[in-house]
């Protein structure tokens, strides 16, 4: 009897310690998430994965989305999962302490694909679509807080800030700001971006002006609007057609655009421009060198 009582007491103490170790936080969408010590993470988006890796926590990952497989620093052999319709049984079998989800994981109906897992007690924290460089800083700080390593988050943010400030300082000497059109989807379904986007922030950092900078977030411009706004430089991160730059040059009427006339069309790294993480610096430097080679040639 005494041994049994001691065992029950030990179990109760362990449960109490576990409960006291849990923390309730607001994720980046404002939803409550209760999380304890995190040693096993499932990441559902490459931007999340990059943040975890750059915080020095790659060893905590037990599975990632299929787009994360090319993230530098990712441990080999991790299972890759489909998070549009996640397999709850497989995920539970991985025994995650945390699923770090992303705003684009919602289904076509807008439903939370991880609702069942939440109800089963698996902590799920969302990072929403980052709309500014400052949002990316806050995403990093949030993930670092989740993983109880705020000091690593501050160090990573400070490193980003220092590099971005270095680029911004060089831009202050500019007397004339070049106009830029940045294409993220080619014809016939052309997409670019306006304000409330971190890519728009990046154009401002290098001392240029987005020709659609007064429009809201995702923009679907017609060819005439691009021609009328006549950008000095065109940037594209499209990488899924054979010749993105050649395709731009060949569009009807584009031969009247200054960027085309002066051969100022440049390819920007896709991953570092579409993934809101600490690795946007690569795309930022490419953008700076493309638009102002005379200033940023050695950056």
CB 184 within 8 A of CB 244: no
Residues 111 and 189 in one domain: no
Residue-level pLDDT, tens digit, the chain, 299 residues: 444 434 433 443 444 444 447 999 999 999 999 999 999 999 999 999 999 999 999 999 999 999 999 999 999 999 999 888 889 999 999 999 999 999 776 645 567 889 889 889 999 999 998 999 999 999 999 999 999 999 999 999 999 999 999 999 999 989 899 999 999 999 999 999 999 999 999 999 999 999 999 999 899 999 999 999 999 999 999 999 999 999 999 999 999 999 999 999 999 999 999 999 999 999 999 999 999 999 998 55
Q: How far apart, in whole angstroms, are the C-alpha atoms of residue 41 and residue 58?
A: 9
List the 124-127 sheet strands across, edge first: 80-81, 61-65, 41-43, 98-102, 124-127
Looking at the domain assignment, is residue 4 inside a domain? no
- Each residue of 233-264: b (16+ CB within 10 Å) or e? bbbbbbeeeeebeebbbebeebeebebbeeeb
Residues 104 and 201 in one domain: no
In sequence order, the β-bridge partners of residue 42 are: 63, 99
The domain in which residue 291 lies consists of 175-296
Last residue of a domain, one of 129, 156, 187: 129
Number of domains in the chain: 2
Looking at the domain assignment, is residue 109 inside a domain? yes
Q: How far apart, in whole angstroms, are the C-alpha atoms of residue 223 and residue 70?
A: 34
CATH number, domain containing residue 116: 3.40.50.1980
Residues 118 and 204 in one domain: no
């Amino acid at each position: 009897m005494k041994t049994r009582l001691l065992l029950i007491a030990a179990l109760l103490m362990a449960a109490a310690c576990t409960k006291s170790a849990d923390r309730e936080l607001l994720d980046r969408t404002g939803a409550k998430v209760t999380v304890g010590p995190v040693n096993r993470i499932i990441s559902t988006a490459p931007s999340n994965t990059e943040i975890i890796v750059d915080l020095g926590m790659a060893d905590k990952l037990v599975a990632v989305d299929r787009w994360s497989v090319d993230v530098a620093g990712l441990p080999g052999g991790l299972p890759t999962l489909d998070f549009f319709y996640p397999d709850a049984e497989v995920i539970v079998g991985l025994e995650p302490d945390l699923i770090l989800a992303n705003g684009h994981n919602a289904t076509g109906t807008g439903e939370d694909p991880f609702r069942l897992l939440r109800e089963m007690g698996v902590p799920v924290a969302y990072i929403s679509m980052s709309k500014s460089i400052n949002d990316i800083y806050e995403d990093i700080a949030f993930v670092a807080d989740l993983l109880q390593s705020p000091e690593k988050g501050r160090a990573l943010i400070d490193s980003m800030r220092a590099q971005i400030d270095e680029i911004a300082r060089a831009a202050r000497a500019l007397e004339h700001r070049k106009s830029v059109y940045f294409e993220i989807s080619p014809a016939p379904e052309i997409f670019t971006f306006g304000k409330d986007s971190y890519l728009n922030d990046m154009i401002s950092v290098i001392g240029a002006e987005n020709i659609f900078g007064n429009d809201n977030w995702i923009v679907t411009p017609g060819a005439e609007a691009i021609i009328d706004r006549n950008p000095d430089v065109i940037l594209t991160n499209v990488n899924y057609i054979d010749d993105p730059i050649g395709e731009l040059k060949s569009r009807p009427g584009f031969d009247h655009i200054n960027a085309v006339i002066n051969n100022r069309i440049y390819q920007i790294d896709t991953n570092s421009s579409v993934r809101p993480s600490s690795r946007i610096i690569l795309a930022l430097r490419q953008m700076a060198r493309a638009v102002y080679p005379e200033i940023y040639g050695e950056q």
